[in-house]
Homo-oligomer: A and B are copies of this chain.
Amino acid sequence: MPDALPHNIYDMEFTAQQIAEYLGGSVEGNANASVKTFAKIEEGQPGAISFLANPKYAHYLYTTASSIVLVNEDFVVEQPVSATLVRVGNAYEAVARLLTLYESMTQRRTGIHPLAFVSPAAEVADDAYIGPFAYVGDGAKVGARTQVYPNTTIEERVSVGDDCILYPHVSVYHDCRIGNGVILHSGVVIGADGFGFAPSAEGYEKIPQIGIVTIEDNVEIGANACVDRSTMGSTYIRKGVKLDNLVQIAHNCEVGQHTVMSAQVGVAGSTKIGEWCMFGGQVGVAGHIQVAPRTSAGAQSGIVSNRKPGATMMGSPAIDARQWQKSSIYFKRLPDMAEQLHALTKEMEELKAQLDALKQQ
């Protein structure tokens, strides 16, 4: 495997003609140009396909070393191009389709590795994969085609659906339920105890957390993110939710379907987040609140309440984003404002004195 093409791990090669046919596009240039891998247009290399969607990158088209470039149908070529072009309706969508095709050709592993531990009282589908040093406890179920990578731990009575990927070092505590098509990246912890303590004079008494976590279909959770088990009942991550790395979802929460949270977001306990919300990185959400569907929150904002669907919020505490942006501008000018205020106060004193003098004339 040559150094320049590290990712052609599947030993495949496609021509511009084949790619155009797959995407329903048209070829401009050598229809037999062939590629084995992908490259960014600015890092193009022979044997790679690139794409051009953002006009800011258009100048790279004329110098890229890539063999094929996907462009939009209406893209106007302004200089000679050595790469073969494949014109498609939407170059960005087309490359996503190609990447998905490429990924789907990866050979899936199957079977229980002899160095795995699988309880005789567990049920593992025949075509699932359990890697070395993975642990599957009593009463656990692992569905069809699911990939359990090395060093991952699935505790007692957990159920994992079909077509899931649990990367290395995932930990799923007892009794939690994971749907179909779920991806858990390395270091994810599902079902650790919620942070519940009853204060006393001698210290904090642990409140046992006997609930579970339920993760619905097509959820993806990023590396080292945590979803805590409920005190009773279940913490819910609804279908299609995407959580980025290092996100924290506390006990008794519900994250509505198709909600997306960027890295390092934290949601405090018993909060219910609506569907289709989008949170930027490091957002915090208070406990015991409801967040309306389609709420957007800018990075680092702190949501203490939002009942208005579709609101865009910023700041800590989070307020309407436009209002926050205006206030932020004036925050910078605060020293000037204070000075102006001080000057005005002085002028006022003077004016009053002058007026008093006038009145006494």
Contacts and interface: CB of A to CB of B under 8 A. Distances in A.
B316 A300 contact: yes
B284 A300 contact: yes
Interface in A310-361: 315-317, 319, 323, 326-328, 330-335, 337-338, 340-341, 344-345, 347-348, 351-352, 354-355, 358-359
A47 interface: no
Interface centre among A155, A228, A245, A326 (most CB of B within 10 A): A245
B341 A332 contact: no
A255 interface: no
Query: For the complex formed by this chain, how many copies does it contain in all?
Result: 3
B359 A93 contact: no
A331 B331 contact: yes
A9 to B, nearest CB: 7
Contact of A204 (B92, B174, B185, B240): B240
A290 to B, nearest CB: 13
A53 to B, nearest CB: 12
Contacts of A142: none
A150 B239 CA distance: 29
Contact of A232 (B38, B171, B218, B299): B38
Given A7-B212, A186-B171, A284-B282, A132 B132 contact: no
A258 B341 contact: no
A175 B131 contact: no
Contacts of A348: 344, 347-348, 351
A239 B207 CA distance: 18
Interface in A238-293: 239-240, 242, 244-246, 248, 250, 257-258, 260, 262-264, 266, 268, 280-282, 284, 286
Nearest to A268: B281
A175 B208 contact: no
Interface centre among A93, A210, A337 (most CB of B within 10 A): A210
A6 B175 contact: yes
A9 B157 contact: yes
Nearest to A156: B9
A302 B302 contact: no
Contacts of A299: 268, 284, 286, 302
Interface stretch (A13-21, A78-86, A98-106, A121-129): A98-106
Interface string A214-226: 0000101011101
A12 interface: no
B327 A335 contact: yes
A210 to B, nearest CB: 6
A267 to B, nearest CB: 9
Interface string A191-232: 011010110000111111011100000101011101010011
B330 A338 contact: yes
Closest 4 CB pairs of A and B: A171-B186, A330-B334, A203-B240, A189-B223
Given A187-B189, A195-B242, A228-B245, 14 more contacts: A7-B211, A100-B205, A102-B210, A167-B173, A169-B171, A186-B192, A189-B245, A203-B257, A284-B300, A300-B300, A326-B334, A327-B335, A330-B338, A334-B334
9 contacts: A9-B156, A93-B198, A99-B208, A117-B132, A153-B169, A187-B187, A250-B263, A268-B299, A323-B335
